[in-house]
Amino acid sequence: MKFELQHTDPRSNARAGVITTDHGHIETPVFMPVGTIGSVKAVQMTELKEDIKAQIILGNTYHLYLRPGLKVLEGAGGLHRFNSWNRPILTDSGGFQVFSLAGNRKLTEEGAEFRSHIDGSKHFFTPEKVMDIQRTIGADIIMAFDECTPGDADYAYAKKSLDLTERWLKRCIDRFKETECPYGYRQTLFPIVQGCVFPDLRRRAAENVASLEADGNAIGGLAVGEPTEKMYEMVELVNEILPKDKPRYLMGVGTPANLLEAVERGVDMFDCIMPTRNGRNGQIFTKNGILNMRNERWKEDFSPIEEEGASFVDTLYSKAYLRHLINTNEILGLQIASVHNLAFYTWLMREARKHIIEGDFSSWKRIMVERTMQRL
C-alpha cells in the first residue's frame, strides 16, 4: 500500500491524499461504509459503487469468522469474490466486538476467550489467529488485534490494557511477516493507538506505533463513552506524533460534525455504523441538518428528501413518502434511508477534500459543522 499526501490546508492540519492498494485507489479524506458480515445493510454493491460512490468498505473479523466461516470464504477466493466487491476492503480485527461482549469474554496474556453471540459456543482469539483469519478473509487493509478500553476506564486499567495491546501488537506483526495473502495480492497491517483518555498513555502508544513505520496507522478506543471534547483532544495529541506521510484512520467515528472536526485535526479515514443504523431508525443526515422522519411534520411534506442531494433517492422520493415507509416498517424505507445517509457521508468527505485542495477548508468546515448539527 502506498500513500501520497497531495495537499494540506493552510489554516489547519486537514489533508488530502491518495491511498493505492492492489484493488484500486482511495482519495482521502474518505468515509468507509461498514459491511460487518460481508454486506452493507440494505444496500446493493451496485448502489455502493455507482450512486453512493464508496471507494472502500469494511468487513469484520469477528462476525465473518462466525458466519459464513473461514471455509466458505476461502472456498470463494476471499471476501472480494464472495461479496462481488472489486474495490479495496478493510477489516477490523474484532477487538471492539470482543470488548463489547464484556459478560461473555475473558482476557489473558495469550488472547481473548469469548462466547459467540449467536449460539453461545466458545472461541479463542490470539493475535496470531486474528492475523490468520484476516489473511483468509483477504482484505487489503487489516487491523492489529487489540483491547478496546472503555471510555470511562480508570488509569490503572487503561495502562494495563495498553501494555497488553502493545505486547499483542508485536505478536501480530511477527505473524503478519511470517504469512502471505492466499489470493496473490498484497495486504497491509495497521497498528492501533490505544490509551483511553490519558495523554501520557496516548503519547506513549502513538510513539510506539510511529516507531514501527507501518504503511498506515489507526486510532482506536474513542467514541466509546468519553466526552466528545476528550476525543478531539486525544486525536490532536496522537496526530502530532503519528507520521505525516502515512494515512491515519479514526475507528468507529462518528457524526458528520465529528468527521469534519477530525479531518481538521489531520485524520484521513473514517468508518461508522451511524449512517445505516440511524437511517433504519428514521434519522436522515443532510447538509442543512438532521431530520427525524417519524415526526408528524413530514406527513404531508411532498418536497424531495433533500434538494440537490448526493443520491438519486433524494429527488426521486418525497419526505412524506419516506415517512410513510419508515412508520409502516416497510423494507424500502430502510433502503432509501441507508442509501441517502451513506451517499451524504461520502459526499461530505469529497467536499472536504475539494475545499482542502482549494485552500478554504477551515471556513467551509465551520459553516458545515453548524449546519449539520441542526435538528430540522
Annotated binding site for substrate: 92-96, 146, 194, 221
Q: Is 119 annotated as catalytic? A: no
Nearest to 289 by CA among 375, 189, 204, 170: 375
Binding site as annotated, residues: 92-96, 146, 194, 221
Catalytic residue, from 9, 92, 140, 268: name it. Answer: 92
Over its C-alpha atoms, the chain yields an Rg (Å, rounded) of 20
* DSSP string over 284-302: EEETTEEEETTSGGGTT--
CB neighbourhood size of 12 (10 A): 15
Q: In angstroms, rounded to a whole number, what is the distance separating the alpha carbons of residues 96 and 169?
A: 15
Q: Is 314 annotated as catalytic? A: no
- Under 8 Å between Cβ of 142 and 187: yes
Give CA angle at 214 (209, 9), nearest 5°: 85
How are beta strands 105-107 and 112-115 bridged, if at all?
antiparallel
Q: In angstroms, rounded to a whole number, what is the distance separating the alpha carbons of residues 303 and 319?
A: 6
DSSP tag of 183: T
Alpha-carbon dihedral sign for residues 21, 25, 31, 33: negative
What is the three-class DSSP state of 316? helix
Catalytic residue, from 9, 51, 268, 271: name it. Answer: 271
Which residues have a catalytic role annotated?
92, 271
